[in-house]
Amino acid sequence: MPAQSHDHAWAESSSVSQPTMRHDWSLEEIEALFALPFNDLLFRAQQMHRMHFDPNAVQVSTLLSIKTGACPEDCKYCPQSGHYNTGLGKEKLLEIEKVVEQAKAAKEAGASRFCMGAAWRSPQEKDLRVVMEMVGRVKELGLETCMTLGMVDVDQAKRLAEAGLDYYNHNLDTSPEYYGEIITTRSYADRLDTLANVREAGMKVCSGGILGMGEAPRDRAALLQQLVRLDPHPESVPINMLVKVPGTPMENVEDMDPLEFIRAIAVARILMPKSHVRLSAGREQMDESTQAMAFLAGANSIFYGDTLLTTGNPQVERDRALFDKLGLHPEPIDPNAHDARSDDEQAETALAHAIQRQRDDALFYDAARG
């Protein structure tokens, strides 16, 4: 993508006094934001966006499924659940070298963050050792790293952090009240506990939800209330539009009004002004006008590439063309991003990775059996 000339008027506005980050938004206050006239809501969201971000920069991530299918959870939206017949077979944990190749390709395509997802309830010890190696190898490429591996305890989270993992993704999915209609094999408290464990380990949090699953408008407000209560707010907040996959219980849910989806983006931006709000799953079904409106409402992060775990995502060239039309540019990796590990710890980790690569030629095994 050719270099863009950037208008940095946003930087001047960021120097004015900024509102204090709040974690105490009431449900009624959030619903009042949703009820604002559409133009007023977008105006407030855009003002908040410009206080904290370059309004024309979009953080670009690529997501790779490193282990697909046969998940024991019963999430009604998910094609990877072993409870539903979606035609998606179980796959082995990807070989480390293949993951590195994909990460290199993602970086060349303009991604600054490489996300890896595995269809597990939680990682087992043998799996954890391999994904820690993956983290280290991807970090060596100069990319930010993110993983979603299901539930993790404090020890697992700390080991992932020591391996260099920057972000851990664990979505809340929906409101506490509607959650039981979507998932029964994992509680809402389980999800909050995992997020707390990730924070305790010193990693950044990526957490959001899925809209369009038949929830009421109040559930959308309640989901955002749960996210805004996290202290600090999640650094990354993916707002997903349901992708209706044949074979899942959600395949015939009524379509969500795109303008209601944009409202949720805008409210998320107002509530969590310093977070990256990601226009996530469902972009394949959105036309350019809807995506452009999402960026105007405060979305400033996307997944880039042909697939999003197991569902479609706009192709790279389409995304580049849209960026060109809108005058957007990929957000670079922050050179001042903090790595909690000391230089000695980083050197020790790199040495351990090198020794492990020499020892282990059998990096491809069936993680689904465990």
- State the helix-helix crossing angle for 258-271 and 288-296, rounded to 10 degrees: 20
d(CA 299, CA 54): 12
- Measured over the CA atoms of residue 260, residue 263, residue 267 and residue 268, the dihedral's sign is positive
- Measured over the CA atoms of residue 331, residue 235, residue 123 and residue 225, the dihedral's sign is negative
E strand or H helix at 239, and its extent?
strand 236-241
d(CA 211, CA 181): 14
> In 3D, which of 237, 248, 109 has the Cα closest to residue 171?
237
* 275, 236 contact by CB (below 8 A): yes
Helix/strand number for the chain, H first, E second: 12, 12
Cite the active site residues. Answer: 71, 75, 78, 115, 146, 206, 278
Q: Which residues 6+ apart lie within 8 Å of 128 measured at CB?
A: 156, 159, 160
Residue type, 120: W
How far separated are the first and last CA of the chain, in Å rounded?
43
Bridge partners (DSSP) of residue 302 are: 60, 279
> In 3D, which of 146, 139, 190, 45 has the Cα closest to residue 352?
139
Give per-residue burial for 201-216: e unless 16+ CB within 10 Å, then b.
bebbbbbbbbbbbbbe
Residue type, 171: N
- Measured over the CA atoms of residue 63, residue 238, residue 184 and residue 311, the dihedral's sign is negative
